[in-house]
Amino acid sequence: MKLDQAPFERDNSLLKIKKQLRVIVATPLGPNGRGGIDRMNDNIFENVDSRPELNITVKRLVTRGQRGLFAAQFVFAHALLSLFFATQLRKVDVLHIHLSDWGSSYRKTILGATARLLGIPYVVHFHGVGFDQFLAAAPYPLVKALDRLFSESEQIIVLGRYWARAITDRVPQAHDKISVLPNATKLGFEPQISALDSRVRITCLGELGERKGTPQLIEALLEIAQRQDWTATIAGNGKVEESRARVSALGLSGRVLIPGWLSSAEIDELLCRTDILVLPSFAENLPMVILEAFAHGVPVISTPVGAIPEVIDSGRNGFLVPVGDVSSLATAIEKLIEDPELRVRLGWAARQDHAEKYEIGTYVSKLGEIWRKSAPR
């Protein structure tokens, strides 16, 4: 298992000239899609397109689309036809398959089988959250199809060591194919904007609901409601109206804003006006929003699930609190509200970690090496 990311291709005297590589990336929703995978792909495509020295062309293959489940079957059929024609026209060297769970697993096992039939080498990029629980509930044919998707891939990318173990426990023959490559984002270049009223601004971004710990966050904010030195924004899709109703019922409407889904530009602007990011999730892989907060130098309070403990070093660049523990969550938030020097120190460490480990340029260079390793010689 390659826990260290793939190195750059170097020569002692001059950089080697790399053959053009044509990669098709299977992405769920497409450009500006709602979700971490599509935000990640937007960053990848922008960076690849800006770096001609990589000599890589990337093309999206949208497998679900943004028009609902009925339209999704036609979008997926179109994706399969597009892959077939790309093969016949010799316009693809490697297929990159982003895999999550539930509906994504059905589409991607079919896509993987199609790639094998067409003779296209493929990389599986795993983003699933409740993988063990999903496999326990999935029908046997799907489980076997997923095992084959992993075992017959050229390379497997996971977001943390936790997920590397999860896959090798399931598919031992995949051990030598796995590369740990955490998500990455652009560095936040816009300066942080101070609050005019000096109140500490708390932000949560993601799909509102039980998995993200939205009810627990609202309860934690209620525990510190006697303080007048904070405001909060809980943004994202999901159970927006239910969360607004709960906030209103608890008398927090004047201090807790729930705007709904935000675009990438709006998220970036909000993070420029954020002092603390909170994500009290019950299950995660490696959320993009944590790395986006790091890029802005914002300390993060989260839970030790998925690959998050591999990114957040509690007490150095943020805090980890037990899953579902409202009291501990409220205490951590209050601690950062009361100590501006601690917020600065944690935020500075987070930004340094981002520059060293989670910056998109370095990520794409490593991803390019994985693609080249997977392509026909």
pLDDT at 6: 42
Domains observed in the chain: 21-184+359-374 (3.40.50.2000), 200-357 (3.40.50.2000)
Q: Report d(CA 256, CA 226) in Å as an integer.
A: 14
Structure tokens at 291: 């790395």
pLDDT digits (tens, 9 = 90+) for 114-166: 999 999 999 999 998 877 778 888 899 999 999 999 999 999 999 999 899 98
pTM for the model: 0.88
Q: Which among 180, 105, 119, 103 has a CA at the least distance from the CA of 149? A: 105
Backbone torsions φ then ψ of 59, nearest 5 degrees: -135, 140
pLDDT at 36: 84
117 CB-near residues (< 8 Å, 6+ apart): none
Q: Report d(CA 44, CA 351) in Å as an integer.
A: 20
Pick from 38-47, 67-76, 322-331 the range whose average pLDDT is largest.
322-331
Structure tokens at 140: 């046997």
Rounded to an integer, the average pLDDT of 235-258 is: 96
pLDDT digits (tens, 9 = 90+) for 178-202: 999 999 999 887 888 999 899 999 9
Q: Report d(CA 212, CA 191) in Å as an integer.
A: 28
Backbone torsions φ then ψ of 258, nearest 5 degrees: -125, 90
Is residue 17 predicted with pLDDT exceeding 90? Answer: no
pLDDT digits (tens, 9 = 90+) for 270-308: 999 999 999 999 999 999 999 999 999 999 999 999 999
Is residue 361 predicted with pLDDT exceeding 70? Answer: yes
Up-side HSE of residue 206: CA atoms within 13 Å toward CB?
Answer: 26
